[in-house]
Amino acid sequence: MASFTVRLVQPIDSSIINLQFSFFSQYIILFILGINCYRFTWFSTFNYIKGRTWFISALTFGFISWLITMLTGGALTGDFNLYKGGLHWQSIAYALWEAYISVSMAIDLLTFFREKFNKQTKLIQGLSDSSFGVYVFPCSSNNFYGYSLSVFNSSTFS
């Protein structure tokens, strides 16, 4: 509902200094939800089977609800503006669908990776021990590539 409310005044594809505020409410709510899940150990209550159930639910119910919304909401005529924001049932349906899919996929991915990839090999341990490289190498390589490409005129790539 927060996304729908924000999109009443700031629809999808609109931006202020290249920031799309129509998605910020989701980020903030999911961040707070993640903090509470960790604080109250809700993550440990989700086992692999529950995660798969959320995944299957996202695929079936999520796809069916998306399909119904698109077929009945005018998407076949190419008019997607009703989904982007404003006081339209298409906008609220899309916002609810988006929230459901994001929570479902987050639960599934968290339980899947906790179950299948929750171990550390020697390579992963070495990378973890030298994690400073995450902060050093991208900056230096980005600077190198940026300066290397600065000799080209931007119209060359147009």
The DSSP result for 53-121, as a single string, is HHHHHHHHHHHHHHHHHHHHTTGGGT--HHHHSSS-HHHHHHHHHHHHHHHHHHHHHHHHHHHHS----
Predicted local distance difference test score (pLDDT) of residue 2: 87
Residues 80 and 151 in one domain: no
| Domain co-membership, 72 together with 135 | no
pTM of the prediction? 0.72
Is residue 106 domain-shared with residue 133, that is, in the same domain? Answer: no
- Residues 7 and 32 placed together within one structural domain of the fold: yes
Task: For residue 41, give its domain range.
Answer: 2-118
Tally the domains of the chain: 2
Angle between helix 2-9 and 24-39 (nearest 10): 160
Query: What mean pLDDT is predicted for residues 65-85?
Result: 89
Residue 155 pLDDT grade (very low, low, confident, very high; cuts 50, 70, 90): low
Please indicate, yes or no, whether residues 74 and 138 belong to a single structural domain of this protein.
Answer: no
> Rounded to 5 degrees, what angle do the CA atoms 58, 2, 8 make?
115
What is residue 45's three-state secondary structure?
helix
Domain match, 64 and 114 both = yes
The pLDDT score that the predictor gives to residue 156 is 57
pLDDT at 39 over 90: yes
CA distance 20 to 40: 31
**Does 73 lie in the same domain as 61?**
yes
Higher pLDDT, 74 or 153: 74
Q: How far is CA 59 from CA 43, 96, 110, in A?
A: 21, 15, 17
What pLDDT is recorded for position 93?
A: 94
To the nearest whole percent, how much of the chain has pLDDT over 70?
A: 94
Average pLDDT, the chain: 86
